[in-house]
Amino acid sequence: MFGTTTIGIDLGTANILVYSKEKGIILNEPSVVALNTNDGTVLAIGHEAKEMIGKTPTSISAVRPMKDGVIADFDLTSGLLREIMRRISTSGVRKPNVVVCTPTGATSVERRAISDAVRSTGARSVALIEEPVAAAIGADLPVAEPVANVIVDIGGGTSEIAIISYGGVVSSTSVRTGGDHMDEEIIQYIRKNYNLLIGQATAERIKMELGFAPIEHVAQTADIRGRDLLTGLPKTIQVSSTEIQSALEETLQRILEAIRNTLEMCPPELSGDIVDRGIILSGGGSLLQGFRDWLVQEIDVPVHMAPSPLESVAIGTGRSLAFVDKLAKI
C-alpha cells in the first residue's frame, strides 16, 4: 500500500511544500538549511534554520540552496530533500512516486539536477511538471479543456506567466523576479536613503506590512531596526508605506511587462476566453497589498485569486498524475 503513494513537491526558492492526495499538504517549510561549516553536516532545516539566518556564529551557516527557482547548491538541496523525505516516511509514506515542478525557463541541465536530487532521496520514480501547469491544476482550472487558462504564479525566485489550453502551455514567460527580489529592493532602498543596513527577515516583514502595488492607499508607517552604516551602532527609523511602494515599483513593472508579453503572444481564438475568464493569481508574491486591483487597472481583464495561492503549485503537482494519462491521449 505504501509503495504506490504519489506525492507532489513544490521545490520553491522560499518554501518547500509536499502534497499527498490522501492527506493534503503534509509539509510546508522554508527552503533553508543550517550547516556545520567544519564537517558539512546538516544541523537544521526549514523554520528552525530560517530563524538562524543572519544570527549564527562562524561555525554555522544558514543558507538557501535554491535560487531563482532552480538548484544553486546540489549537495545542500539533496540534504534538504533527504531530511524532508525522512520526516514524510515517519508519517507512513515510503518509496513514493514523486512529481516535482520546475520553472518554465529551466534548462535541461537544471531539470536533470532537480530530478537527480529527488531520486537520490530514494523516490521510486520522479516526474517533472512545469510550474504554471501545476499552479493551474492546483487552482482548479479546467486545464485539459480547449479554453484559455491564464495563470500568473509569483514565487520567491521566479514569476511564471502562462496561457494553458488542452493541457499544454500555449504561450509563457518566465522572469527571474519574485518575492526575494522585492525584499532585496527594500534592503537597497533603506540602505541608500537612510544609511541603515537591515537583514532579509526584516525586509520580508516590511514587505508584508507596508508593501503596496502602485495604487492609491492610506499611508501607514512602521519602525525598522538595523545597523547605522555611519556609526556602526544599532538604530531605529520610521518608514512609510509610500516609500516601500516606490521601492517595489520597478520589480512589479517587470512582472507586468511579462504578463503583457504573454498575452500578446496568445492566439486570437483564445484571447476571447481571457476577456471572459480573466487571469488567476497564485504564489506568495501575489498576496502583496493592492496587487490584484493594480493588475485590473493595467490590463483591463478580470483578475481572480486562486483558492489557496501559497499552496496551488504543491496541490497541482500532487494531483497532476491524474491528468498525465488524460493529457498523454491528447
Do 207 and 278 belong to one domain? no
**pLDDT value at residue 92:** 63
As a whole number of angstroms, the distance between CA 59 and CA 283 comes to 34
67 is in an annotated binding site: no
| Residue where a domain stops, chosen among 245, 267, 295 | 245
Do 75 and 33 belong to one domain? yes
- Who has greater pLDDT, 7 or 279? 279
Q: What is the pLDDT of residues 238-276, one digit of tens each?
A: 999 999 999 999 999 999 999 999 999 888 888 888 988
**pLDDT value at residue 330:** 43
Q: What mean pLDDT is predicted for residues 202-222?
A: 93
Do 288 and 262 belong to one domain? yes
207 is in an annotated binding site: yes
CATH number, domain of 254, equals 3.30.420.40
287 is in an annotated binding site: yes
158 is in an annotated binding site: yes
Do 277 and 293 belong to one domain? yes
14 is in an annotated binding site: yes
**pLDDT value at residue 51:** 87
Do 20 and 100 belong to one domain? yes
137 is in an annotated binding site: no
13 is in an annotated binding site: yes
Closest CA to 242 of 274, 218, 278, 264: 218
pTM: 0.87
As a whole number of angstroms, the distance between CA 216 and CA 223 comes to 22
38 is in an annotated binding site: no
Do 181 and 321 belong to one domain? no
105 is in an annotated binding site: no
Strands 221-228, 33-36: pairing is unpaired
285 is in an annotated binding site: yes
Range of the domain at 210: 177-245
Q: What mean pLDDT is predicted for residues 297-302?
A: 91
In percent, the amount of the chain with pLDDT more than 70 equals 94
225 is in an annotated binding site: no
pLDDT classification of 2: cutoffs 50, 70, 90: very low
Place of cell 538562524: 52
pLDDT beyond 80 at 89: no
Do 153 and 63 belong to one domain? no
Do 161 and 273 belong to one domain? yes
Do 273 and 203 belong to one domain? no
What would the grid cell of residue 112 be? 536533470
Do 98 and 49 belong to one domain? yes
Do 21 and 99 belong to one domain? yes
Task: Collect all residues with Cβ–Cβ distance below 8 Å to 57 and sequence separation of at least 6.
Answer: none
Q: What is the pLDDT of residues 163-175, one digit of tens each?
A: 998 888 889 898 9
CA distances from 178 to 1, 138, 146 (A): 39, 20, 30
156 is in an annotated binding site: yes
Domain count, the chain: 3
Place of cell 508593501: 211
Q: What is the pLDDT of residues 14-24, one digit of tens each?
A: 888 888 888 88
Do 266 and 237 belong to one domain? no
